[in-house]
Structure 1
Amino acid sequence: MGLALLLVVWLITFVSTYFFIAHPSWMWLPPVATTYGPQIDSQFTYTYIAMGIVFVAAQVALGLFAWKYRDRGHAAAYYSHGNIRLEAVWTILTAILFVGLNLMGQHIWAQARFQGPSPGSEQVEITGMQFQWYFRYPGSDGKYGRTLAKLEDPSTGNALGIDPDDPAAKDDIVSSTLVLPVNRELDVTLKALDVIHDFFVPEFRFKQDAVPGLLIHMHFTPNRIGDYEIDCAELCGSGHYKMRAGVKVVSEADYQAFLKAPQQWLTEHPWNGPMSRGLMQESEAKPPAPALQLAMRHHQSQAENH
């Protein structure tokens, strides 16, 4: 019986390890679309290799022990009451492994989180709200307009509560699709209005919580034109499953055209990612937030009429 267990454990270990290594996309991640993404992938590789060695060694030992300490009939059983030296060794080795992996990845995290963006980087504010993502651009003045909680009302197209009386808000743009220029660094501000959300784009290797009351600054540079999907990776309520949005990485010319006429450009260049049909069906029940420029024009026309 012990030999059978050894063979079964080793066979499962060999087969699972083989398929893991032999699979052409063994990391099961989509093609990377940011400049720092390859560093994230390298960190995954180091982690997989280290933990793979530990996994194989542990399973080999498990099979050996199943055979060595198999039932031998009437032979006296051997009991171990622990080995302080052995326990200290594997605890220290485990600590070295985890601390080492964290130190290897720390500089990658620091580049995106703690080191400031380059001067002239493009600004975008990302806000999570049950169950919708909103993306705001500061416009030509480079300043975001003031926001007030009492003005937050998605039904009027002002889910972010932007104050129309603030001069800095006159050229702000709010969109339900994130449009980004390729090969330009982005200064991202993440926030949430109700509960914790998580902004996740697998191709960007970017995943960060958006926390109510906090302004979280990150920066990255997309380097591949295409349409990608944004998911909320934090359980945020009953509608969590549908909290998705699209991100378009476009050329500089297309990006400038989007800034000049957001709604028209998005109508002519709709998001066409892998889940675009599902997002379009959901948007029929909940219209996307319009560009704030249009809301401002409506506000101004009402003021003129009065």
Structure 2
Amino acid sequence: MLLILLLGAAAVWSFAAARAHGWWFPENVSVFGARIDALFDLNLWITGGVFVLVFALLAWTVARGALPGRARPVHGDLRLELVWTLVPAAIFVGLAVAQLDEWRELKYAGARPHVAVTARVVASQFDWHFVYPGPDRRFDTLDDLETTYELVVPAGEPVVLQLVSRDVIHSFFVPGLRLKQDVVPGMRPEVWFEVRGPADLELVCAELCGWGHYKMAGRVRVVPRAAFDAHLAALERAFRSNGKDER
């Protein structure tokens, strides 16, 4: 029992030390990231408490069973079975209710900002490609602006991305934004975020997508609106100089 308590205390200390020294999550830059972190912490404390409780009961059971004397077989306990069924069910329902507002705001199309799609993210083995609408502000036309590896978006305003896969299931994951969304062939989900100021963020694929999954990485660079407009202008100049505009 003492060993179990010591291990539990060590786990709590390591958790607190990791947060205090910045060894926990990457710095959050998203306007909704703090709420995601709060939900994660809530889940962690609940599951951590259950972990300690279960192993303490296990240690007590082992110690009690090691006592001398004849063992008494137990065929079941209805009250105990009700407890270990209803308590987890209540916890799951409580967690579901606690995250409803965040889920609605982040995932429900009717609740997110009503702005045009900033860029289309195209995932393929094993690269990220990004498509911006050209001067006509529409996708799938001859003036689409394409780039790879680095996604540049404006700061201080909502950014909506459309996600597309060319081959297998990928997962668009930007830890600094607390944003993760599966990219499934045949579907075009949209995600949104907002970052108050400039940032340079890591983008990775969080779904095992083949032998080169480990190298499917990119960057998300958040810049002021003027710098974003300049980036689009540079892409358009490169587009025209390459002779791709056939209109």
The TM-score, its normalising length taken from structure 2, stands at 0.90
- Structure-2 change in CA distance of 1:239 and 1:197 (3 Å): same
Q: Residue 134 of structure 1 aligns to a residue in which SS?
A: strand
Aligned counterparts of 2:117 and 2:230: Cα–Cα separation in 1: 15
Distance in 1 (CA, whole Å) between partners of 2:52 and 2:218 is: 40
Matches within 5 A, 1:262-281: 262=235
Q: Deviations over 1:140-185 (max 9, x none)?
A: 322102xxxxxxxxxxxxxxxxxxxxxx332x21111100111110
In the alignment, which of 207, 212, 230 is matched to residue 257 of structure 1? 230
Q: Distance in 1 between matches of 2:72 and 2:15?
A: 37
Q: Does 1:245 align with 2:218?
A: yes
Are residue 41 (structure 1) and residue 37 (structure 2) matched?
A: yes
User: Distance between the aligned counterparts of 1:125 and 1:112, measured in 2?
Assistant: 18
Aligned pair partner of 1:232 in 202, 205, 224: 205
Q: Match of 2:152?
A: 179
Deviations along 1:231-289, whole A, 9 cap, x unmatched?
A: 0111111111111111111111111110110388xxxxxxxxxxxxxxxxxxxxxxxxx
Deviant stretches of 4+, over 3 Å: 119-122, 291-295
Q: Is 1:141 matched with 2:136?
A: yes
Confirm whether residue 200 of structure 1 aligns to residue 173 of structure 2: yes
SS in 2 for 1:94: helix
Per-residue deviation at 1:25? 5.4
Give the drift of 1:46.
Answer: 1.1
- The alignment status of 1:95 with 2:89, answered yes or no, reads yes
Q: Which has the larger radius of gyration?
A: 1
Pair 1:215–1:182, CA change in 2 (3 A): same
CA gap of 1:293–1:218, structure 2 versus 1, over 3 A, is: farther
Shift of 1:199: 0.5
Structure-1 residue corresponding to 2:194: 221
Contact 2:197-2:224 within 8 A present in 1 as well: no
Matched residue, 1:14: 9
State the alpha-carbon separation in 2 of the partners of residues 105 and 255 from structure 1: 33
- Classify 1:174/1:87 alpha carbon distance in 2 versus 1 (closer, same or farther; 3 Å): same
Counterpart residue identity of residue 55, structure 1:
F
Identity %: 33
Distance 1:228 1:71 in 2: 57
Work out the CA distance in 1 between the residues paired with 2:16 and 2:218.
33
Following superposition, the deviation at residue 294 of structure 1 comes to: 4.8
**CA 1:88/1:234 → structure 2, altered by over 3 Å: closer, same or farther?**
same
In the alignment, structure 2 segments of 5+ residues that lack a partner are: none
Aligned residue identity for 2:128: W
What is the distance in 2 between the residues matched to 1:263 and 1:8? 65
| Residue among 129, 132, 135 paired with 2:127 | 132
Alignment length, in residue pairs? 244
Q: Distance in 2 between matches of 1:46 and 1:226?
A: 27
Decide whether aligned partners of structure 1 residues 70 and 21 sit closer, same or farther in structure 2, where only a CA change above 3 A counts. Answer: farther
8 Å contact kept, 1:186–1:219: yes
Partner letter of residue 146 of structure 2? V
What is the root-mean-square deviation in Å for CA atoms of aligned residues?
A: 2.2
The answer for the alignment partner of 1:161 in structure 2 is none
- Give the alignment partner of residue 70 of structure 1, picking from 66, 74, 77: 66
> Which residue of structure 2 lines up, in the alignment, with residue 276 of structure 1?
none
Scaled by the length of structure 1, what TM-score is found?
Answer: 0.74
